[in-house]
Amino acid sequence: MNEVFFLVEDAPEGGFTAKALGESIFTEAESLEELHLNVRDAVRCHFDEDNVPKMIRLHFVHEEVLAV
């Protein structure tokens, strides 16, 4: 595996949540900088040293609700 994809959303209480697609990896953070560190750490912890993906892709989802 060369890369792992994360779905990143705004957390209801502030900050971000990140869930890996196809892997059991979840992390959260208060800032974008902290999210980058936490995602890297979670990926390193999840995979064996020989199988760590070379790239992490973060897909940000931003939801807006508009009144009609």
Question: Domain locations in the chain?
Answer: 3-61
> Which tens digit of pLDDT belongs to each residue from 6-57?
999 999 999 999 999 999 999 999 999 999 999 999 999 999 999 999 999 9
pLDDT for the residue 10: 95
Whole-number pLDDT of residue 64:
86
Q: Report the SS3 class of residue 54.
A: coil
Please give the model's pTM, rounded to 2 decimal places: 0.87
Of 37, 3, 33, 34, which Cα lies nearest the Cα of 20? 3
6 CB-contact burial (10 Å; exposed 0-12 / middle 13-18 / buried 19+):
buried
Please, which pLDDT band fits residue 63 given cuts at 50, 70 and 90? confident
